[in-house]
Structure 1
Amino acid sequence: MSLCPRCGVDIGDAASCPLCGLVPGYETPATAMPHARNLVDLTASVQPPSRARHLFVAELITVSLAIAALTVFLVDLLTGGGISWSLYPLAALGFIWLSLCPLIMATKRKILGLAFTALAPFAFLLALDLINGDINWSLRLGLPIAASVELSASFATFVSLRSRRKGLNLLSFGLLAIAFVCLSVEGVISLWLGGPLRFSWSFIASSALVPIAIFLFYAHHRLAADATLRRLFHV
């Protein structure tokens, strides 16, 4: 039995394929397996574009969080006769949505998505404070601490991305950011308690972190400048 290499039809003793007209023995690699190539092209054509995939992921997250929020709301309403404790998980679910979905959907405007993600912790802390009936601790305690964490994380991320050669310097930037957060947390707490600005445990922690960060930064650039040391440490 003789088969056509292009369409797979049994051509028997015929000089050419009765379906496609191909003469056996004169096919080229491009024409011998057109079905495989067409299958690859078809598979690529049915793949959704990047924005469509992002919107689909955001839709899945939104539907999942909405189902969870509705469940929590109904359980609180039916068992307690009102809305009380469910406000806390509802605020948490809203925080998750605001942190993820705008960033996923903003495929062309990443700055806008990052802005929503950065604002999500502040909105969450304000919501938790408002649930208690009044804005008390969020403005003087929660928001300043959240701002210090985001500021230090932004600094570490920015300098890491701008670094031409990445290695031990990334650990150095991270340790400096942690030291700044420690100082900020203790400073904000001391002011919130009504006392003077004091640093005790945060100063001790920073005194341990900063020298290590400086050493790692030095080691990173020293290894980069010395080929012998790079071979010694396998970097």
Structure 2
Amino acid sequence: MSFCVNCGVRLAPSERQCPLCDVFVNNPLSPWTEPAERPYPKRVETIIKKNVDAKFTVIIISISLIIPAIIPMLTDLFITGGITWSRYVLGALFCLFVFIPLPLMFKRPNKYLFWLLDTLSIAGYVFLIYSSSNSRGWYFSLALPIIVSVALGVLITMIITGSSISSLKKAAAISAIIGLVSVSIDLVINFYLNSASPVHWSVFVVSPLLVFSLIFHVIDRKVKLKEELRKRLFY
């Protein structure tokens, strides 16, 4: 048994030099000899990562979505004689297709384009539910403003995460955005319900988030504290 005189690593009997610092082993009591078998191969085999065929993946996922779409539709046709409740299943599967398989069709999908498509598909699906329900007025005064508010929050978050600012500034901005989106949702709900108070539950959401946002911003300005956190959190 030998140890490296430079870094102290315990060396295997097959090692002629330290694998970490390349210092040669010189142990008079145990001179090195060529081993019959090494614990690892002499050459490093290169593992070639197979390219995944995106189109094939899209086909598989699309077929997986078609099957659960056909069964409810045929069941609805046989029972009710038309497309009634199965439209909700079809609409949900269409949204799922827009979310997952559709971006895979492109090598470099435009995230802002698919943000728009995702928002439109969700808004369209909720409108499908609205048009099939007996109640009126809640889509344009409640559902659509909430969808737009959340979509704008997601869009701003995408822009921030794609920017070159520091991680702590990103965390501060995203915390503030989540808080503001919660306030906007609360405002829309209370306006729809004709509530006397414009905000209720969002106060308990936005308050700690704004505090966290302020903390992240202060830490980012303190260089020494930021470096200490970087060492401990490995970011």
TM over 0.5: yes
- Note the C-alpha offset of 1:162: 0.9
Q: Is the CA contact (8 Å cut-off) linking 1:103 and 1:117 kept in structure 2? A: no
Q: Is the CA contact (8 Å cut-off) linking 2:179 and 2:205 kept in structure 1? A: yes
- Note the C-alpha offset of 1:226: 5.3
The residue aligned with 1:102 is 102
**Unpaired runs of 5+ in structure 1?**
1-35
Q: How many residues get paired?
A: 189
Letter in 1 for 2:191: L
Q: Is the CA contact (8 Å cut-off) linking 2:115 and 2:155 kept in structure 1? A: no
The CA distance in 2 between the partners of 1:228 and 1:174, in whole Å, is: 21
CA RMSD of aligned residues (A): 3.1
Q: Is the CA contact (8 Å cut-off) linking 1:126 and 1:135 kept in structure 2? A: no
SS at match of 2:162: helix
The residue aligned with 1:229 is 228
- Note the C-alpha offset of 1:214: 0.8
- Note the C-alpha offset of 1:197: 7.0
The CA distance in 1 between the partners of 2:178 and 2:213, in whole Å, is: 10
Q: Is the CA contact (8 Å cut-off) linking 2:220 and 2:226 kept in structure 1? A: no
**Unpaired runs of 5+ in structure 2?**
1-44
Residues 1:112 and 2:119 aligned together: no
The residue aligned with 1:83 is 83
The CA distance in 2 between the partners of 1:134 and 1:76, in whole Å, is: 23
Q: Residues 230 and 141 of structure 1: is their aligned pair in 2 closer, same or farther, counting only changes over 3 Å?
A: closer
Letter in 2 for 1:187: L
The residue aligned with 1:180 is 180
Higher helix share: 1
The CA distance in 1 between the partners of 2:227 and 2:67, in whole Å, is: 60
**Cα-to-partner distance string for 1:151-209 (whole Å, 9 max, x where unaligned):** 1122222212213432x444323321221121111111122224567113213421222
- Note the C-alpha offset of 1:69: 0.6
SS at match of 1:163: coil
Residues 1:210 and 2:210 aligned together: yes
The residue aligned with 1:171 is 171
Q: Is the CA contact (8 Å cut-off) linking 1:169 and 1:216 kept in structure 2? A: yes
Residues 1:191 and 2:188 aligned together: no
Q: Is the CA contact (8 Å cut-off) linking 2:92 and 2:125 kept in structure 1? A: yes
Letter in 2 for 1:128: I
The CA distance in 2 between the partners of 1:190 and 1:133, in whole Å, is: 22
The residue aligned with 1:15 is none
Letter in 1 for 2:228: L
**Cα-to-partner distance string for 1:65-87 (whole Å, 9 max, x where unaligned):** 11111111112222344332212
Q: Residues 79 and 173 of structure 1: is their aligned pair in 2 closer, same or farther, counting only changes over 3 Å?
A: same
SS at match of 1:162: coil
The CA distance in 1 between the partners of 2:162 and 2:194, in whole Å, is: 39
Q: Which moved more, 1:173-182 or 1:188-197?
A: 188-197
Q: Is the CA contact (8 Å cut-off) linking 1:140 and 1:192 kept in structure 2? A: yes
Q: Residues 209 and 71 of structure 1: is their aligned pair in 2 closer, same or farther, counting only changes over 3 Å?
A: same
TM-score of the aligned structures, taking structure 2 as reference length: 0.67
Q: Residues 127 and 135 of structure 1: is their aligned pair in 2 closer, same or farther, counting only changes over 3 Å?
A: farther
Identical pairs, percent: 22
SS at match of 1:91: helix
SS at match of 1:61: helix
The CA distance in 1 between the partners of 2:227 and 2:95, in whole Å, is: 50
